[in-house]
Structure 1
Amino acid sequence: MSNAKSATDATFQTDVLSAGKPVIVDFWAEWCGPCRKLSPILDQLAGEYADKIDVVKVDIDENPAIAAQYGITSIPAVYLFQNGEVKGSVIGARPKQYFEKEFAEFLK
C-alpha cells in the first residue's frame, strides 16, 4: 500500500498549497515506466519522513490543469512545495539517496 496521497486539480490547493508541512509532489502518469520505478522510492520517503513531509501524487493525465499550471513537460517531475511555493524540483527517476540529499533541509 502506498504512503503517498493522491491529489487532483480540485484538491491540490488543500493537499499541497495549504498544507502545514512541506509536500513532495510526484507528477506522473500510468503509462510512464520511470514513474512506476520512482513510486516505491517516494513511498519509502513518505513512510520514513512522515513527521516532516507529506508525499502527494498527481496523475497528469487525469489532472491536466495542475500539470499545465506548473509547466510539467517531462515526467516523472518531483516538486517540493512549502507554504504554497515551489522550493525545489527533480526531473526524472533518481535513487532515494538523491532525493534525501536534494531535499535534505526539509527532511531534518
Structure 2
Amino acid sequence: MIGSAELGQATDDSFSEDVLRSDLPVLVEFTADSCAPCRQMEPVLRSLADDLRGRMRIVQVDVPANPATTRDYQVMGTPTMFLFHGGEPVRQLVGAQPKRRLLREVEPFV
C-alpha cells in the first residue's frame, strides 16, 4: 500500500542519535503542523520510505518544538529537507518536492 511507512520523529534531544549516528542515510524533513506544503509532503515521504526501506531512514523535525536543531541547520522555511550521509548533510532541498526529484537526490547515497 502506498504511504504505509512510518516516518520517524527526531527532536533536539534525539537528533544526534537518530540522524548523525545513523548507519543508514537519513532524509530529514523540517516541518510544522501549520505548513500546507509540509502536509502535502507526508504521503510522498511515506511512499519514499516504503521504496527505500532498509536502505534509508526518513525522519521529521517539528520546527516549533525543536528550535535548537532548526537553528543549527539554519532552517528559514518549511518544508526544508536535508539528506545526511555519514553524519554530514550532503543535500538540501527547500519546498515541496515531487517523489521523482527526491529519488534522484538520494539515490547516489542509498
Normalised to the residue count of structure 1, the TM-score between the two structures is 0.95
Q: Distance in 2 between matches of 1:105 and 1:3?
A: 23
> Which secondary structure does the structure 2 equivalent of 1:58 belong to?
strand
User: Tell me, which stretches of 5 or more residues in structure 2 are unaligned?
Assistant: none
Kindly indicate whether the alpha-carbon contact (under 8 Å) linking 1:52 and 1:106 is maintained by their aligned counterparts in 2: no
For the residues of structure 2 that align with 1:14 and 1:91, how far apart are their CA atoms? 24
- CA RMSD, aligned part only? 1.0
Name the CA distance, whole Å, in 2 between partners of 1:3 and 1:106.
21
1:47-96 deviations in whole A, cap 9, x for unaligned?
11011100000000000100000000011001000111001011000110
Alignment of 1:29-108 (within 5 A): 29-107=32-110
Taking only the aligned residue pairs, the percentage that are identical comes to: 36
**Structure 1 stretches (4+) deviating beyond 6 angstroms?**
none
Report the counterpart of residue 14 of structure 1 in structure 2: 17
- Size of the aligned set, in residue pairs, is 107
> Using the alignment, how far apart are the partners of 1:42 and 1:106 within structure 2?
17
TM-score by length of 2: 0.93
